[in-house]
A = this chain, B = another copy of it.
Amino acid sequence: MKIDPKSPADLSAQIAKAIRDAIMSGDLLVDERLPSEAELADQFNVSRPTVREALKRLGAQSLIRTQRGATGGAFVNRLRFEDAYGQQITTSTLLLSMNDVSFAVACEARYALERACAPLAAARRSADHLATMRAEAHRQSQPGLTDEAFCASDVAFHRALVDAAGNPVISYQLAGAVEAMQPLMNMITFTARSRERIVQLHSRIADGLENHDAEAVDITLAELASYTNELAQAVIDARAAARDAQ
């Protein structure tokens, strides 16, 4: 693990990269303890604050964890799917909001990927996943629900659908696509009528999964995708009209 002392700026970034590479290449194994901050400072010929900045960078990516005390130090972290979800969702959400991704594009991505889960989910869905989906669909039919709570429940429903595929890699990859849609969905006002329609489609999806009927699920997802797009388009059109009238 070496850094280039000639390029003086961003020493902490270089150190972080060196350690990250060591982790990625397998030079540092899971749960292995890194040298103490003082030792690292010696090795890299930098000061302890600089080492600490590097370690914080790695900590932000969940690549290491630190522990105080006599036997403490920085340890290579076993990156868990659950830990990675949060970052994935944060990043996806910001990507959508900062790059002016249209509702249509985000929606297309979400449903295209979700439909990829349909066959697996239909084959493997557990009673648990089904129960979650039914419960969320029921919650969505409650009259007093705010739009925001409705959206949150919608996300929970779709995450259960994704998780039903029983493949942690898929669940991880799709967490971002599903959750990042929530801010976009929040711009929609869900009337009683549209909620009813959505709940109906959700129920049909749950039915399809219960009957191991992948095709039914796929078709219903396609319907849901186009209906969601319709709703969003209505909002967009209404806003455009309001702006023109002004």
Contact = CB atoms under 8 A, between A and B. Distances in A.
User: Chain A contact residues: over half helix, strand or loop, or mixed?
Assistant: helix
A204 to B, nearest CB: 20
Contacts of A16: 60
Interface range on chain A (Cβ under 8 Å from partner): 35 or more
Q: Give this chain's copy count.
A: 2
Interface in A1-45: 9, 12, 16, 20, 23-24, 26, 30
A118 to B, nearest CB: 10
A169 B106 contact: yes
Contacts of A167: 105, 108-109, 112
B81 A95 contact: yes
A97 B176 CA distance: 21
Interface stretch (A82-90, A142-150, A232-240): A82-90
A134 interface: no
Nearest to A104: B167
A100 B165 CA distance: 19
A79 interface: yes
Interface stretch (A51-59, A192-200, A205-213): A51-59
Q: A16, A87, A97, A172 — which one has the most chain B CB atoms within 10 A of its CB?
A: A172
